[in-house]
Amino acid sequence: MFKNKDRYLSFLLVLPSILAVMIFIYGFIGWSIRVSLSKWKGLTPNFEWAGLKNYIDLFSDPRFMVDIRNTVIFTVVFVVGCIVVGFLLAVMLDQGLKGEAFFRTLFLFPMAISFIVTGVVWRWLMNPATGSRMSGLNLLFSYLNLDFLINNWHTTPTWGIAAVALAAIWQMSGYTMALYLAGLRSIPLELREAAQIDGASELQIYRYVILPILTPVTLSVLIILGHISLKVFDLIIAMAGKQLALDVPAIYMWQTTFDGLFYARGAAIATLLLISVAVLIVPYMWFTLRSEKQL
Amino acid sequence: MSKKFWYSLMAVLILTAVVLSACGGAATQAPAEATQPPAQGGKEVEVFSWWTGGGEAAGLEAMIKVFNTKYPDIKFINAAVAGGAGTNARAVLATRLQSGDPPDSWQGHAGQELIGTYVAGGQIQPLNDLYESEGWLKVMPETLIPLISQDGKIYSVPVNIHRANVLWYNPKILEENKIAVPTTVDEWFAAMDKLKAAGVTPLALGEQWTKMHLLETVLLGTLGAEKYNGLWNGTTDWGSAEVKTALENFQKAMTYANTDSASLSWQDAAQLVVNGDAAFNVMGDWAEGYFRELGKKPRVDYGWAPVPGTVGVFQFLSDSFVLAVGAPDPEAAVAWLKVAGSKEGQEAFNPVKGSICARTDCDKSLFGEYLQSAMDDWASNVVVGSLTHGVVANDSWKSEIDTALGLFVSNGDLAAFQTALVNACKASGPCK
């Protein structure tokens, strides 16, 4: 009897947050999906049924094709770059060098600033101007007589988005390093010693002992960075403004909805974004929740 | 029931109230009016704009002063929302309109940007009576009126006028290369060929919207005023050969531009001309205010002419004010519009903002050398509207053109560009 009332009370206590989440998250997701199936264009809501037309149109929309291409390039460069740089930094810090705390903080610092700041600073650094107006990295390369490195950065056709990913790698590789470092520190020394006694070289130890143990960390990194890169918006706005060569779905969604008043199309892009992130996150959450239950 | 239960229930209710009030506060985002409590009992007019900084805000203040002397019993509430050249303000305004809480009057680019958005939504009222009673039809250019009307109804009061089709040039560079200021598109290209051969960047260009600005002036320069207007009312075929020629001209003009255009703002691009790094720049006449800010002298550091092919045509854009349907105080709103359209109001606003009056009878001595020449043209030229700045196309149409242009800039496919323009006009414009 007493136990039942306690459960009743606890349910009441979490009720407000359940309600808020239901309304402000799931309710609005449902509403966005409804809008994406409508013919709403212009300031006045119009819920006339359009079926999947908005989605079908998107997949023949040349701009959306550019967006998909850019997202794929950005995600691959960003995630692979962060994992490689982050892992190398973590391995170096793990060697027990002097001033480790200092370097750890140093590498983590970029994460503390917002993507907008990163974007503005890297836009200056990656200034593609030539001749007397040359500046930023290009100017540095020119001083160092490394002229072959001078390039157009984010204004390069097709691959410009990879330059934006460079800025993102700079920002997030410290975070990746922190995750890997925690993973490395949790590996018992005995394992390395055992491998050494078996005659494994340092490289083999990393390849056959440490990397396999770190697989769950890599998975987490993949998920965290992956969903950041699918939703990337602020970094690109700060670096490139509204230039279409660097367009991504989130920017298209924003522009078409609020500049062009194509509400239904914007909602369709939002829904596709949600689905792509969900495809990445849901199996991961399901997996972690299940393994937690087993413990 | 135990005490514990009731305490818990109360806690839950209080929490809910806190959560809901927090959400409510965040959602409505009360604009600047919060700092100015309404006058007790008296009449008031709430005017919504995105003039929050620089000459614009100062100009608005000057106009408010005129309003306060003329209507001392009406309290003026300046509901300006900062940020993003109006993007934020328009989002706030859209929210207020959807929840049935309109300000009395708000700012918008004169023309289809206003008409396509707010007339279609039934949110603003026609002002023909006001135009007649105030005699504005006589003091504003005849060719302006159709551009700010729909089905014969005038929907807004333009306060200031900017010119879009201005070719800024560096007089020293032209002189050194013995080039006369071009007046036709062909002359322009010949001049730029010469400059290119001499190792000078012929044309300064900036980020995407400045390319659309260039596109609209080249369309106007190639097609002429009448056919250019036809693009927007459906009488000129977007798929025609002459539009193709215009687009080819645009493509050619782009080849003369600096290679780093994507990373430059309009200021950066305009500055290239006055600094002697480029010969020409096509930009609206707000660039002149910027040149002055940089301490440059007219006729010495920069010269101006209509964009080649557009001599005798004034491609305008304008900030204007509307009358809301369901305005809380329509009388006070009309009083504000009267000031906005009056000689005193416009003479107070425009010299500070660096634009010219929509009226043709403003006192010329208040304005600088460039603006005086613009005033002469405004009173005598054929007036056509700007695309980039919201006069000729509604927001949806403009954003489709913007997308097509962006794709064209990155892939150079002219045929696909023209097809996309034809489709944009069908989907969001008057084309059938």
- What B273-278 contacts at long range (C-beta under 8 Å, 24+ apart), as own/partner pairs, is B273/B168, B273/B169, B273/B170, B273/B204, B273/B302, B274/B170, B274/B301, B274/B302, B276/B170, B276/B172, B276/B173, B277/A132, B277/A133, B277/B201, B277/B204, B278/B170, B278/B200, B278/B201, B278/B202, B278/B203, B278/B204
What ipTM does the predicted assembly reach?
0.85
Mean pLDDT lowest among A25-29, A76-80, B112-116, B195-199? B112-116
Kindly state whether residues B83 and B37 are assigned to the same domain.
Answer: yes
Q: Is B410 in Cβ contact with A20 (below 8 Å)? A: no
Nearest CA in chain B to A133: B277
Kindly state whether residues B264 and B348 are assigned to the same domain.
Answer: no
- Label residues A144-170 b or e (16+ Cβ within 10 Å = b): eeeeeebebbbbeeeebbbbbbbbbbb
Q: Is B15 in Cβ contact with A129 (below 8 Å)? A: no
Res. B25: pLDDT tops 70? no
CA distance A100 to B54: 49
- Which residues of chain B does A256 touch, with a Cβ-Cβ cutoff of 8 Å? 399
Q: Which of A43, A121, A152, A242 to mutate to test the interface with B (most CBs of B within 10 A)?
A: A43
Distance from CA of A136 to the nearest CA of B (A): 13
CA distance B284 to B386: 10
pLDDT in tens, A222-274: 999 999 999 999 999 998 888 888 999 999 999 999 888 899 999 999 999 99
Kindly state whether residues B208 and B343 are assigned to the same domain.
Answer: no
Q: What total number of domains does chain B contain?
A: 2
pLDDT in tens, B318-363: 999 999 999 999 999 999 999 999 999 999 999 988 899 999 999 9
Res. A43: pLDDT tops 70? yes
**Mean model confidence pLDDT for chain B:** 89
The DSSP-derived string for B363-416 is -GGGS-HHHHHHHHHHHHSEEEE-TTTTSSS-HHHHHHHHHHHHHHHHH--HHH
Q: Return the residue matching tokens 């700092």.
A: B35
CA distance B204 to B291: 15
Distance from CA of B311 to the nearest CA of A (A): 31
Of A157 and B412, the structure prediction assigns the larger pLDDT to: B412
Kindly state whether residues B227 and B286 are assigned to the same domain.
Answer: yes
Q: Is A20 in Cβ contact with B263 (below 8 Å)? A: no
Domain boundary assignment for chain A: 62-260
pLDDT more than 70, % of chain B: 90
Kindly state whether residues B154 and B186 are assigned to the same domain.
Answer: no
Domain A62-260 has CATH 2.40.50.100: no
Q: Which of B98, B99, B260, B402 to mutate to test the interface with A (most CBs of A within 10 A)?
A: B260
Domain that holds residue B42: 32-161+319-385
List the structure tokens of B88: 């934020």
CA distance A263 to A273: 15
In whole angstroms, what separates CA B30 from the centre of its chain? 25
Distance from CA of A243 to the nearest CA of B (A): 6
The Cα-based distances of B168 to A96, B181, B184 in angstroms read: 62, 10, 15
Report how many Cβ contacts below 8 Å link chain A to chain B: 114
Q: Is A24 in Cβ contact with B23 (below 8 Å)? A: yes
Kindly state whether residues B292 and B309 are assigned to the same domain.
Answer: yes
- Which residues of chain A does B114 touch, with a Cβ-Cβ cutoff of 8 Å? none
The confidence score (pLDDT) of residue B36 equals: 44
Report if residue B11 sits inside a domain: no
Distance from first CA to last CA of chain A, Å, rounded? 30
Kindly state whether residues B300 and B325 are assigned to the same domain.
Answer: no
Q: Is B120 in Cβ contact with A155 (below 8 Å)? A: no
Q: Is B416 in Cβ contact with A13 (below 8 Å)? A: no
Would you report the helix, strand and coil content of chain B in percent, each value rounded to 5?
A: 55, 15, 30
Report if residue B150 sits inside a domain: yes
pLDDT in tens, A112-147: 899 999 999 998 899 888 777 888 888 889 889 888
Kindly state whether residues B361 and B288 are assigned to the same domain.
Answer: no
CA distance B291 to B293: 5
Kindly state whether residues B332 and B422 are assigned to the same domain.
Answer: no
Kindly state whether residues B373 and B395 are assigned to the same domain.
Answer: no
> Do residues B392 and B318 lie in contact, with contact meaning Cβ atoms separated by under 8 Å?
no
The Cα-based distances of A175 to A60, A89, A281, B31 in angstroms read: 38, 10, 19, 38
Residue B202 belongs to a domain with what CATH number? 3.40.190.10
Report if residue B19 sits inside a domain: no
The confidence score (pLDDT) of residue B11 equals: 64
pLDDT in tens, B267-313: 999 999 999 999 999 999 999 989 998 999 999 999 999 999 999 99
Kindly state whether residues B222 and B342 are assigned to the same domain.
Answer: no
Report if residue B10 sits inside a domain: no
Nearest CA in chain A to B91: A258
Q: Is A259 in Cβ contact with B259 (below 8 Å)? A: no
Res. B27: pLDDT tops 50? no
The confidence score (pLDDT) of residue B41 equals: 54
CA distance B260 to A191: 54
The confidence score (pLDDT) of residue A7 equals: 86
The confidence score (pLDDT) of residue B16 equals: 61
Res. B33: pLDDT tops 60? no
> Do residues B163 and B379 lie in contact, with contact meaning Cβ atoms separated by under 8 Å?
no
Using a CB–CB cut-off of 8 Å, the residues of A that contact B are: 5, 9, 12-13, 15-17, 19-20, 24, 41-45, 62-63, 66, 123, 127-130, 132-133, 152, 154-155, 157, 240-245, 247, 255-256, 258-262
pLDDT in tens, B63-89: 999 999 999 999 999 998 876 567 778
Kindly state whether residues B114 and B199 are assigned to the same domain.
Answer: no
